[in-house]
Structure 1
Amino acid sequence: MNNITETAQQVISSDGMAQVLTTLIPLLGTQAANTTVAMTTGRVRPSVPPEYLLQVIFVCDQVLTPLVVCFGIIGNIFSIVVLTRKEMSSPTNCFLKALAASDVMLLVVQIPHFLSYNHRLNDTHSFKIFYRYYTIFRYFANNTFITCTCWITVAVTIERFISLRFMMNSRMVCTIRRARRAILAIFLMSFVFHFSKFFEYEPNLNLRQPFPVVGTALVHSTAYETYVHIANITLAAIIPVFVLIVVNSFLIFFLTTHRRRMLKHKTPGSGSTSQVDMMHISFIVVSMVLVFIICHSVGVFLALNIAVHGRYKIFANPLFVSMKHVNGLLVFVNSSINFLLYCAISRKFRTTFASIFLGRLSKKMSWPLQTSTNEQSMLSKANVTTLYTSQISTTSSKGVDDL
């Protein structure tokens, strides 16, 4: 326990204090980084944090978050590879591809921050210069990609709701072209909305000071600070979470009623594969939204408390600071877990994934054995391959609404 405390104290001291303070509070925008400016200007004086806060920071930031980020990068890359297959083309999968791309970019941006935990590397002059410029970019990128992930989740939930509510005309309303336009609009609007964050801070080139950034005149503006505070909480917390709760509730209702209707009127030839496929992908979206709401609930709670009590009072409480770091971990969990949901719920995703990766691996492993096999074993291999290919083609011939 003492070793953990000592290691965590190193994170709080020197450059570590600046790294902790400039860590983004997802869904809160400028408020987390503004704490650094407040401390540098003397409005808030740092005090020795309690032991439990040191342990939470160490476990969340240095132990769990790097593991979650590494798994999330691999999982999202696998998801992108599978979802870009021709047989997986559909409006819903367009949103899921964009969601995986946004998540993987958010996770990749964190890698240089993890390198800063290496004290030998962190003490070098070149890395200190790089990290101080990188902190500003990370601040902008985290806000942008979290907003993209949030609103893409809202978009895919609305698309599933329309597909279930207007099942007969859903293919006319929900098209791949419209999905791509919506994705492009989300990325552009997120970029434009957060672009001003590039000008809130500038790198602190005085390497003797631990704080990597200093606030500009923009961030000290009361009007701008109020605008960013209200806009971030409204657009990145209240509105999307409220929309997700409402639309997901309707989606669950239509899923249950449609399933009962299918079971009640089940006759030979009814229950087409397209309807079953639509149910599967809708279950995936529902589970994604539930995970999203759970993982972002701590951030919403912090945002509401900041709106009521003010950020300086909130950040003066070690309990809320520890919740901030837990919230950061949960946000990365939300960006890393979708691959597991796809594998757990969608048979088509699992089959396509196996045909891409495991199929190639089995071919490489069976290659040296081909010279020693007899004619009968070769025939059995051909039969197994034919059966496996027929299963893939049968699964691929399902409706495009399946994941």
Structure 2
Amino acid sequence: MKETNRSIELWCTEPDEQQLMQYKLFEWFVEGVLFLVIGIFGIVGNLLSIMILSAPQLRRFTFNRLLVALSVFDVAFLVSTVPVHTFQVFQVHTQIHALLFSRFLYPMSSISLSASIFMTVSLSVERYRAVCQPSTYRSACISESQCKRVLKYLIPVIILSCLLNLPKFLETSVEYDAEKEQIQYNVTELRKNPTYVWYTTVLYSVHPLVTTELGPIVMLIFLNIFIFSTIRSSKLRFTGVPRRSGGGHGELNLASVIFSIVVIFVICHLPRMVLAVLAVVNVNTAVECIQAFNKYHPPLIFMYAESVSQFLLVLNSSVNFLIYCVVATRFRVFMRRIVMCESTEVTSNPPFGVVRLAEAPLALTQPALQIPDQLNLITSVRSRLNSMVENGDDIGPTYTEEVLHQEETKL
């Protein structure tokens, strides 16, 4: 009983004025200054990523189009989340913000976050199919249009993200006082209902805990383990085969890009997952606070953790551009050419970096230069690969590259 009373006192009692002032200062710096700086950088970086990945030589590849979709969702998350936090912290009061808050910004923040998470998983699934199931992937590339392949990932992501976050449209309301030029943020009566609070908090064990945290993290880890294992076994298989310098660079480069995205994702989402677990564990205490006092206050340490968690989500949506710049070789080439206007030589051959592994088997059917030697090379490679597919053999990207090298030496 004493432990229960202590827990209720901890959750139901407002922090004292000094503690609250310290937290407000922390909130001003994290959810105000850092949100604004990182958010602006993230929006600019994602827009640059969209522009570069939409270049004619890059947008031919399904993987790059999925990266564009990820950048779009990240931009939507930053555009909706940064005003939700920074406007309150900096006490920006406008009628437009009041109109947009409860019907667009607040729900869109959750919808776009879910979409970004699901798209990250979709990217790993696409890479897993290309590396670990090359025959099936190659057949799909030949039989399906690129738009169809992209929509098979994109449509479920959008629908699921919207359905999971429909309650967000009902949780808040905003009033604008024209005389005082101030905004009053209110929690709807539904959100104060103890039964609603109990059910929605318990459902945290499903969403977001399983749907957008634990489930995606586990899937990303295992998918990338399989991807790296397949690449490693393929390299060992052809250790003794002569090859040109730089062979296999594309596979390792793309694997490094995916690995970097996954590592940043896991680090930035772990605090949110822990907070979701704690919310479910303490649901009864929160309900008792609402029943007794018509409100509840989480412990101050949770408020600090929530601010840090939100900042890490903003950071996660802002750093992919840096990952591409540091890790992805081909992305840097196109960035110098498009953004910095450098006259770097860029061919139409199957690209390295973020796209080298994307559709390597299919790329062989699209010769860039109409010259006899290259046409003979493509014909020879296609003949060998097709015969292997008919025999039921798996043709990974590494093996495709080795066949290409062997046929080149014959010409």
Instruction: Tell me the equivalent position of 2:45.
Output: 75
TM-score scaled by structure 1? 0.71
In structure 2, the partner of 1:65 is 35
Match of 2:107 in 1: 140
Q: CA deviation at 1:296?
A: 0.6
Q: Which residue type is aligned with residue 230 of structure 2?
A: F
The residue aligned with 1:330 is 312
Matched, 1:105 2:76: yes
Comparing 204-213 with 153-162, which one deviates more in the overlay? Answer: 204-213
Structure 1 51/203 Cα, relative in aligned 2: closer, same or farther at 3 Å? closer
Confirm or deny that 1:392 pairs with 2:346. yes
- The residue number in structure 1 matching 2:357 is 401
Q: Distance in 1 between matches of 2:122 and 2:45?
A: 22
Sort the Cα spacing of 1:255 and 1:64 in 2 relative to 1 into closer, same or farther, 3 A: farther
Partner of 1:14: none
Q: Aligned AA for 1:200?
A: E
Distance in 1 of aligned mates of 2:87 and 2:282: 35
Query: 1:85: how far off?
Result: 1.5
User: CA 1:330–1:154 in structure 2 vs 1: closer, same or farther (change >3 Å)?
Assistant: same
Report runs of 4+ in structure 1 exceeding 6 Å deviation: 206-210
Q: Shift of residue 309 of structure 1?
A: 2.5
Say which SS state the counterpart of residue 242 (structure 2) adopts: coil
> TM-score normalised to the size of structure 2?
0.70
Pairing partner for 2:278 from 305, 323, 327: 305
Stretches of structure 2 that go unaligned for 5 or more consecutive residues are 1-10, 290-295, 360-411
Q: Which residue of 206, 211, 216 maps to 1:231?
A: 206
Higher mean alpha-carbon deviation, 392-401 vs 138-147, is at 392-401
Equivalent residue for 2:301? 319
Residue 59 to residue 266, structure 1, CA distance change in 2 (3 Å): farther
Q: Which residue identity is paired with 1:294?
A: I
Is 1:189 matched with 2:160? Answer: yes
Contact kept in structure 2, 1:132 and 1:213, CA below 8 Å: no
* Distance 1:214-1:316 versus aligned 2 partners, 3 A rule: closer
Deviation at 1:57, TM superposition (A): 1.5
CA offset at residue 224 of structure 1?
7.3
Structure 1: which amino acid aligns with 2:56?
K
2:370 counterpart residue number: none
Q: CA-atom RMSD, angstroms?
A: 3.1
Residue 173 of structure 2 aligns to a residue in which SS? strand
Q: What does residue range 125-274 of structure 1 map to in structure 2 within 5 Å? A: 127=94, 129-136=95-102, 137-173=104-140, 176=146, 177-204=148-175, 211-217=184-190, 220=193, 222=195, 225-227=198-200, 228-232=203-207, 233-262=209-238, 264-268=239-243
Checking the alignment, whether the CA contact within 8 Å between 1:92 and 1:401 is kept in structure 2 is no
Q: CA deviation at 1:357?
A: 1.7
Query: Is 1:93 the counterpart of 2:64 in the alignment?
Result: yes
Aligned sequence identity (%): 21
Question: What does the per-residue CA deviation read over 1:139-197, in whole Å, with 9 as the maximum and x for residues that have no partner?
Answer: 20111011001111111111111211123442324663223221122112211321232
Q: Name the CA distance, whole Å, in 1 between partners of 2:338 and 2:349.
A: 14
Q: Which AA in structure 1 matches 2:72?
A: A
Deviations 1:9-65 (Å, cap 9, x if unpaired)?
xxxxxxxxxxxxxxxxxxxxxxxxxxxxxxxxx966464335653443232112211
Q: Which moved more, 1:64-73 or 1:51-60?
A: 51-60
Unaligned runs of 5+ in 1: 1-41, 363-384
How much has 1:117 moved relative to structure 2?
Answer: 4.5
Letter in 2 for 1:401: L
Q: Structure 1 stretch 186-195 or stretch 47-56: which is displaced more?
A: 47-56
Instruction: Tell me: CA distance 1:315–1:161, structure 2 relative to 1, closer, same or farther (3 Å).
Output: farther
- 1:336 is paired with a residue whose SS is coil
Find the residue that maps to 2:193 and give its secondary structure.
Answer: coil
CA distance in 2, matches of 1:117, 1:285: 35
Contact 2:121–2:219 (CA<8 Å) still a contact in 1?
Answer: yes
The one-letter code sitting in structure 1 at the alignment partner of 2:242 is T
Shift of 1:316: 2.6
Report Cα offsets for 1:204-245 as digits up to 9, x if no partner.
Answer: 457889751231337626257515434322212222122122
Q: What displacement does 1:301 show?
A: 1.2
Does the 8 Å CA contact 1:277/1:402 hold for their aligned counterparts?
no
